[in-house]
Amino acid sequence: MQHIPSQCPICSGEVTMGKTTFSLDLQTGVVIVRNVPALICEQCGEEWIEDSTAAHLEKITDKARSEKLQLEMVSMS
Ligand SMILES: [Zn+2]
């Protein structure tokens, strides 16, 4: 279980639940996932993604890689 901070360990800013965009270049193609739930520091913008969300992103990435998709763009909301 990943530790999710309630306060930013970098700048001590406040961390709130928000949405971010995940993108990854696989060489064979690019994966873009919008509306990814994440904890975001309001002060410095550092982001933390929960384990269950990270696992979901990995599935999307694996699918794009195995199907050699040039562009995979999905929304998690
Ligand atoms: Zn911060």
Distance between Cα 10 and ligand 1 center (Å): 5
- Yes or no: say if 74 and 60 are a contact pair by the CB < 8 Å rule: yes
Return the higher-pLDDT residue of 23 and 2: 23
Distance between Cα 4 and ligand 1 center (Å): 13
Q: Is the confidence at residue 61, as pLDDT, over 60?
A: yes
pLDDT value, residue 77: 82
Q: Which two tokens stand for residue 13?
A: 């800013």
Please indicate, yes or no, if residue 1 is contained in any of the structural domains. Answer: no
- Domain assignment of residue 31, given as a range: 15-75
Distance between Cα 37 and ligand 1 center (Å): 17
pLDDT value, residue 1: 45
pLDDT value, residue 6: 83
- The rounded distance, in Å, linking the Cα atoms of 39 and 30 is 24
- From the number of C-beta atoms within 10 Å of its C-beta (0-12, 13-18, 19+), residue 17 rates as exposed
Distance between Cα 34 and ligand 1 center (Å): 22
Number of domains composing the chain: 1
CATH number for the domain spanning 40: value is: 3.10.20
